[in-house]
Amino acid sequence: MKSNLLAIFVFTALLCSTRATLNEKKILKEKDMMRKIVFDKKTPDVFYCPIQKPSSMNKIIVTARPLHKLCEYEGNPLPAEYKSDCYMDIDESDYACKEKYRIMKRFAKDEP
C-alpha cells in the first residue's frame, strides 16, 4: 500500500515538473517571437516585423518595412515625435542593429 502511494506521488511530481517545463519553453518562444525580425532572401530590400501584440502565435500580423528603416537611429535615443514601425520599437532595439549587421554582412559576401 505504501509503495503504491509512493509511486503515485512520484508520478504526480514528475508530471507536474514536465508540464511546468513545457509551459516555460512556450513562454520563452512567445517572448522570442515578440522580438522577431524576419528577413527573406527573395525580398532583399525589406524586413518583416510584428505590428501589434498577437493574440496567439498562429495569428501574428507582420508588416514589410524597407531595410534602411531597420536600426535607423543606430541605437541612439529615439526622437519624441518618432512613430514606431513595429511593435514595441523592435526595429530600433539592440537586437535589430545586430540583425541588420548580420544581413548586411551576408550581402557583402554575396557580391563579387
Task: Annotate 24-59 with b (16+ C-beta within 10 A) or e (fewer).
Answer: eeeeeeeeeeebbbebeeeeeebbbbbeeebeeeee
What Å distances lie between residue 13 and 4, 9, 10, CA to CA?
14, 6, 5
Q: 28 and 52, same structural domain?
A: no
**Domain total for the chain?**
2
Assess whether 23 and 40 both reside in one domain.
Answer: no
Do residues 19 and 46 share a domain? no
pLDDT at 73: 87
Greatest mean pLDDT range, 1-10, 27-36, 52-61, 75-84: 75-84
All cell numbers assigned to 81: 515625435
> pLDDT-based confidence at 2, cuts 50/70/90?
low
Residues 74 and 101 in one domain: yes
Same domain, 22 and 63: no
* 108 or 81: which leads in pLDDT: 81
The Cα–Cα gap between 30 and 28 comes to: 5
- 8 A C-beta contact, residue 36 and residue 52: no
Name the residue range of residue 27's domain: 1-34
For residue 56, pLDDT over 60 is answered with yes
Question: Is 58 in the same domain as 8?
Answer: no
pTM of the model: 0.62
Same domain, 28 and 72: no
For residue 66, the model assigns a pLDDT of: 92
Note whether 70 and 106 are same-domain residues: yes
Burial class (CB in 10 A: 0-12, 13-18, 19+), 108: exposed
Average pLDDT over residues 102-111: 80
Looking at the structure, tell me whether residues 58 and 75 fall in a common domain. Answer: yes
